[in-house]
Amino acid sequence: MTLPRQKIVILGGGPGGYEAALVAAQLGADVTVVDSDGLGGACVLTDCVPSKTLIETSNAMTLVDRSAGLGIATGGLTTVNAARLYERITGLARAQSSDITARLAAENVKVITAKGSLAGPQNPGLVRAGDKQLRADAILIATGALPRILPGAQPDGERILTWRQLYDLTELPPDLIVIGSGVTGAEFASAYQALGSRVTLVSSRDRVLPHEDEDAANHIEEVFRRRGMTVLGRSRARSVRRDGGSVTVTLDDGRTLTGSHCLLTVGMIPRTEGCGLDDAGIKVDARGFIEVDRVSRTSVPGVYAAGDCTGVLMLASVAAMQGRIAMWHALGEAVSPLRLDHVAATIFTDPEIATVGVSQRAVAAGEVAARVLKLPLATNPRAKMAGLSDGFVKLLASPRAGVVLGGVVVAPRASELILAVSVAVEQRLTVEQLAHTFAVYPSLSGSVTEAARKLMDFTPDAP
């Protein structure tokens, strides 16, 4: 006798949703994804993919800037064709979304283009998708998040913008004010400055990237300032007003800033309105994010949640893992609960900041004992050849056994260089094992093994 196929309904086709759908289909379930805006989600259509595509162009501009020092005569001013740039970005995002659509179709995942919602406690396991009703053995909510809007700064899509509206512009903002100096603000400020905009970065905190490694954040702020960016610390924006072709930002202390455009990067709110969470009895936290445990279960049996709508480390990789874990759990597979302490993440500024594992902040707070070593990139032979002087590698290792606990890489393509540290952290390698690993000569990754060698010399500083 064959058992009936388990029915899975997924609300949202971003990485949290579509990666879950692939796992569920692989396990033989009957899977339907309900998505309102296009597969790939905000990740592919408006957030991660478009921003990283923009940053590839800004990286190329940085290289052009550096090229004179490398003996190249560019013969004049290099400028960016904004229309072509934005067309490339949106085209690439659409193509990526089509690839995901084709992949789901190939795995026999059904897709309904509609807004979905839970039917409520009288009908557990029932999902409304437009005018359809779908019965499910398990439901996954992966509806993502929306840009947070400041009360006094209503975006108009032309001059006052969220990052999702940037790609509709017809020009590069000549004078851009970025409000918010978290990851998104820092990335766009860095990119637009390299593309040729005059950039002012408004930070309500003492420094940019207040939640990141302090050395890395101070370093990037120093790079920003050196390249001509105005960075305003301890400056909270109260309101943004459009005056024809310009914008005026008023700060809490009464100062005003004028620019051509203002980009708001002040966080995200969960996108769960209309999903029927209240009716279904799904618990949310004080900010409205869906509460989940480490196998993605919500407070209602049979209903799981993944990705940005849960507010757990808002990264595509984490969303995808939460979604997969939900399906493994729902379909009775052995599953390891989500672990966030080994997540590798990158801030795509120039240079990039990549981190993994234990932070120096945790060491300073006495939460973890570790020896820490920071090695500037300026002494690396490959960096010298490439004309790079900014950046460093930092490793953290346990005091006695020297197990690699974490690391920070600040460098061009740090997002790639962090993998060696990430493997070491995941596999609990010692600095000695890392130090004995061959690195190519000359290479930036040589600084990772060199830092490990230097950490071997450390006298243990803990009993």
Ligand X SMILES: Cc1cc2nc3c(=O)[nH]c(=O)nc-3n(C[C@H](O)[C@H](O)[C@H](O)COP(=O)(O)OP(=O)(O)OC[C@H]3O[C@@H](n4cnc5c(N)ncnc54)[C@H](O)[C@@H]3O)c2cc1C
Q: Which is nearer to ligand X, 172 or 316 (CB)?
A: 316
Among 111, 138, 142, 452, binds ligand X (CB under 6 A): 142
Beta strand 175-179 with 198-202 is parallel
Choices 5-13, 148-156, 289-297, 437-445 (CB under 6 A): range interacting with ligand X: 5-13
Binding mask 32-71 for ligand X (x = CB under 6 A): --xxxxx--xxx---xx--xx-------------------
Phi, psi angles (nearest 5°) of residue 134 = -120, 135
Pairing state between β 352-357 and 268-270:
unpaired
Size of the site for ligand X (CB under 6 A): 37
Phi–psi pair at 297, nearest 5 degrees: -75, 135
Distance of closest approach, residue 243 Cβ to ligand X, in angstroms? 27
Distance (Å) of CA 148 to CA 162, 185, 348, 365: 9, 13, 21, 31
Q: Which of 315, 356, 404, 405 binds ligand X (CB under 6 A)?
A: 315
Q: According to CB under 6 A, which residues from 167 to 186 bind ligand X?
A: 184
Among 316, 370, 375, 410, binds ligand X (CB under 6 A): 316
Of 44 and 61, nearer to ligand X (C-beta) is: 44
Pair of tokens at residue 120: 């409520």
Residue from 127, 144, 405, 452 in contact with ligand X (CB under 6 A): 144
Question: Rule CB under 6 A: is residue 427 a binding residue for ligand X?
Answer: no
Q: For residues 311-339, b (16+ Cβ closer than 10 Å) or e, as one string?
A: bbebbbebbbbbbbbbbbbbbeeebeebe
Rounded CA gap, 272 and 279, in Å? Answer: 12
Taking CB under 6 A as the rule, does residue 314 contact ligand X? Answer: yes
Of 6, 7, 9, 14, the one binding ligand X by CB under 6 A: 14
**CB nearer ligand X, residue 237 or residue 316:** 316
Binding residue for ligand X (CB under 6 A) from 6, 23, 57, 116?
A: 116
Binding part of the chain for ligand X, among 62-70, 281-289, 313-321, 446-454 by CB under 6 A, reads: 313-321
Contacts of 382 (CB under 8 A, 6+ apart): 442, 443, 444, 446
* Residues in contact with ligand X by the rule CB under 6 A: 11-17, 34-38, 41-43, 47-48, 51-52, 115-116, 142-144, 163, 184, 271, 274-275, 307-308, 314-317, 319, 348
